[in-house]
Amino acid sequence: MTGWRSLAACAGQPGLFFGPGDTEQWRAHRRREARAKAVCAGCPVRQQCLGFAVASGERSGIWGGLGEDELRALQRGAWHSSAGGPRRRAA
Ligand code: SF4
């Protein structure tokens, strides 16, 4: 593993960041997502990870501390956070 991925705090935890798909119940999904986001919060390459996910059009999994819905909204240019996350550019 090279580049920013070699510093990823999630290394070795793919099941936490990519769920089982349609078989995952909503509450289990929310719990898993919260645990994954907690790992992302302390990750030294969070911005690189999020930038990669947006640039490559990733649609599934947790990337850069964002869940799938948040990531899709960011890719559409519609995501806004008051918690210090990436923000939509002002027009
Ligand atoms: S920000 Fe989260 S998903 Fe991205 S590399 Fe870090 S821990 Fe993994």
* pTM to 2 decimal places: 0.81
- Residue type for position 42: G
Q: How far is CA 38 from the centre of its chain?
A: 11
Q: Is 59 exposed, middle or buried (0-12, 13-18, 19+ CB in 10 A)?
A: exposed
Cα of 73 from ligand 1 centre, angstroms = 18
Within the chain, residue ranges assigned H as helices are 14-17, 26-41, 46-56, 68-76
Residues making up the chain, counted from first to last: 91
Cα of 65 from ligand 1 centre, angstroms = 7
**Which tens digits make up the pLDDT trace of 5-17?**
999 999 998 889 9
Q: Cβ(66) to ligand 1 under 6 A? A: no
**Which tens digits make up the pLDDT trace of 42-81?**
999 999 999 999 999 999 999 999 999 999 999 888 665 5
d(C-alpha 52, C-alpha 50), whole Å? 5
Cα of 24 from ligand 1 centre, angstroms = 21
